[in-house]
Amino acid sequence: MTDHELIQDVRERIMKARKLVFLTGAGISAESGIPTFRGEGGLWRSYRAMDLATPQAFSRDPVLVWEFYLWRRRLISGCRPNPAHEAIARFERSKPVLIITQNIDGLHQKAGSKEVLEIHGSIWRSRCVRCGRRRHDERLEMELPPLCDLCGGLERPDVVWFGESLDEVILRAALDALRSAEVLLVVGTSGVVEPAASFGRFAASHGAYVVEVNLERTAQSPYYACTILGKAGEVLPQLLSLEES
Ligand code: BV8
Ligand code: ZN
């Protein structure tokens, strides 16, 4: 099959499905200017995840960890959704869409998507480690470390660090959607961080037609129906446009 035929075939499957499910990763936000984690220029090439994105790192040095997340907040605050986020949000007006995202940047919602499961949390929320209170938090500068104004406890970014479990309710909702998906699009993720890495395979084993969109093949590609190589910002508008190309 040529690339064009493959895209047409996937488009037809998308148009026939009652609902579309997406699993997205850092690659979908790369064209917005947000660095990915593992590729060229990736965050974990310059920073050690274990020093910054674990509960142990936060216990050891909450100020350092907060500085890292504030730096990322400032970076993300200057970035806009790109044609990939926008194509999904536009498509959502014609058919139900659920997005399961590993990203903490909030760009899907900013593009207008409504059903977004943020399985690794959000950089735009803080959570008190003592009383558990979560709050929307868009501050780009603050006295560090921030303290909860209800109980005086230490506040942390409301993201899921390595070694922490995903929120049970969100995980259950994601697994339900994957179990019943007809078509799943896995966009811009290297497929190495569990449990999200196994989501595509899980959906495929329950009958979903799984399409990967990535610059390169990944460790998960062999389990999917097909891989479309290309930039998310170029491929998704083609796959999701309502007019024939
Ligand atoms: C857990 C949030 C239960 C905060 C992140 C089983 C086996 C082995 C290890 C484990 C296992 N189960 C659990 C583990 C441990 C660990 C894990 O998976 N480790 C791996 C690395 C081996 N998992 C966990 O700890 C998880 N918790 O399982 O709980 C438990 C608890 C205790 C003990 C055991 C089990 C929690 C993981 C959550 C980690 N939090 N971040 C933050 O961001 O600061 S993960 C981090 O990676 C990112 O945040 C991101 O969310 C995630 C995934 O990365 P990707 O999105 O895929 O990004 P990446 O850079 O890797 O890839 C980008 C891709 O895009 C590339 O493929 C590239 O080609 C492509 N691309 C680039 N540009 C484009 C593009 N594609 C298209 N278009 C483009 N323009
Ligand atoms: Zn508190």
* pLDDT of 182 above 70: yes
Per-residue pLDDT tens over the stretch 54-79: 999 999 999 999 999 999 999 999 99
Structure tokens at 58: 């936060």
Nearest atom (ligand 1) to Cα of 53: 44
Q: Is the bond leading into 83 cis (omega within 30 degrees of zero)?
A: no
Considering the candidates 85, 108, 120, 136, report the single residue annotated as catalytic: 120
**C-beta separation of 3 from 9 below 8 A:** no
Q: How confident is the model at residue 3 (pLDDT cuts 50, 70, 90)?
A: confident
216 lines ligand 1 (CB under 6 A): yes
Q: How far is the CA of 130 from the centre of ligand 2 (A)?
A: 5
- The finding on whether 119 has its CB within 6 A of some atom of ligand 1 is no
Segment 78-103, tens digit of pLDDT = 999 999 999 999 999 999 999 999 99
Q: Starting from the edge strand earliest in sequence, which strands make up the sheet with 116-118, in order? A: 116-118, 97-101, 20-24, 183-187, 209-214, 226-229
Q: Is 171 in the pocket of ligand 1 (CB under 6 A)?
A: no
Residue 244, pLDDT above cutoff 80: no
Question: Does the beta carbon of 228 sit less than 6 angstroms from any atom of ligand 1?
Answer: no
Q: How far is the CA of 191 from the centre of ligand 1 (A)?
A: 7
pLDDT tens-digit series, residues 195-241 = 999 999 999 999 999 999 999 999 999 999 999 999 999 999 999 99
Number of residues assigned to the chain: 245
Q: Mean of the per-residue pLDDT values for the chain? A: 96
* CB-based contacts of 212, cutoff 8 Å, min separation 6: 185, 186, 187, 200, 218, 220, 221, 224, 226, 227, 228
136 is catalytic: no
Phi, psi of 98, rounded to the nearest 5 degrees = -125, 130
The pLDDT of residue 209 is 98
pLDDT at 50: 80
